[in-house]
Amino acid sequence: MALSGGHKDRELRVHESLDELSTDLADYIAELSEASVKERGVFTIALSGGSLIGLMGKLCEAPYNKTVDWAKWYIFWADERVVAKNHADSNYKLAKDRLLSKVPIIPSHVHSINDTVSAEEAADDYEFVIRQLVKSRVISVSDISDCPKFDLILLGMGPDGHVASLFPNHSALEEKDEWVTFITDSPKPPPERITFTLPVINSASNVAIVATGDSKAEAVHLAVDDVGSDSPSVPAGVAQPLKGKLVWFLDKASASKLEGSQFSA
């Protein structure tokens, strides 16, 4: 790792290469899984789409494929496109093809969205599923809100600074009551999506944001550096668990505009 820094509950991990980043990401996820299984007997993890899934690929290889307690994993999506599960745009399909089909996860622990209904109904259905699992204590409850407390929420970040399907200046960012909301006007296609809301993201025990490449450098800077405004200007900047820990996984390119970074252009 080229650089690792941060304060109490936020850590920046800047990597020399994508290979190094993916090894560190696999180590990080495996360690959190082990700790959660030890403490609670399960590991609840929410995925997103994009390059994140490919960067998790080392989990399918030795030693992780044998050492991780896959039967204890419960899988969710922090956001999903409202398309059929076999559609090329489906985040579920991406994760299934690249990750979930390669490790012994229990199929009934994989909680994908209902893709046969409208975005609004899919969001409601997904929140209902999560509520049932909170009731049965598979998912913990936050002690500072009534929100679910996922063991880990993994997020990618777009060049515009969006995380999950929370896009800049979109009203979904303001949603405070629902756990899962929907949008029908995503600026990035496809337009219809469901997404965890900020209160849910910020109630997690751990949140990781994985952002690589030059195109993310400006948004990383706006989200991470104190840019002199009271409110962060990109959604990624407000993803900060209140009692949990945030880790940024970056490469040299995405970290290049960070203030004080040795990688600054």
Q: Which residues bind ligand 6PG (CB under 6 A)?
A: 48-52, 79, 81, 91, 156-158, 162, 165, 188
Is residue 254 within 8 A of residue 185, CB to CB? The reply is: no
Q: Which is nearer to ligand 6PG, 42 or 166 (CB)?
A: 166
Beta bridge partners of 100: none
CB of 160 to ligand 6PG, least distance (A): 8
Kindly state the smallest distance separating residue 198's Cβ from ligand 6PG, in Å. 15
Quote the least distance from Cβ 38 to ligand 6PG, whole Å: 30
In the complex with ligand 6PG, which residue's Cβ is closer, 158 or 232? Answer: 158
Nearer to ligand 6PG, 34 or 50 (CB): 50
Backbone angles phi, psi at 138, to 5 degrees: -65, -45
**For ligand 6PG, the closer CB: 70 or 167:** 167
Looking at beta carbons only, is 20 or 34 nearer to ligand 6PG?
Answer: 20
**Contact status, residue 191 vs residue 185, Cβ threshold 8 Å:** yes
Using an 8 Å Cβ cutoff, are 259 and 23 in contact? Answer: no
Nearer to ligand 6PG, 40 or 188 (CB): 188
CB of 137 to ligand 6PG, least distance (A): 29
Q: ω before 190 within 30° of 0 (cis)?
A: yes
DSSP one-letter string for 211-244: E-SGGGHHHHHHHHS--S-SS-SSGGGG---SSS
By C-beta, is 148 or 158 nearer to ligand 6PG? Answer: 158
Q: Which residues contact 82 (CB under 8 A, 6 or more apart)?
A: 113, 115, 118, 119, 122, 182, 190, 192, 193, 194
Q: How far is the CB of 245 from ligand 6PG (least distance, A)?
A: 20
Query: What are φ and ψ of residue 136, in 5° steps?
Result: -85, 5
CA–CA distance from 3 to each of 170, 240, 255, 261 (Å)?
33, 21, 10, 9
CB atoms within 10 A of CB 185: 11
229: which residues sit within 8 A by CB, 6+ positions away?
none
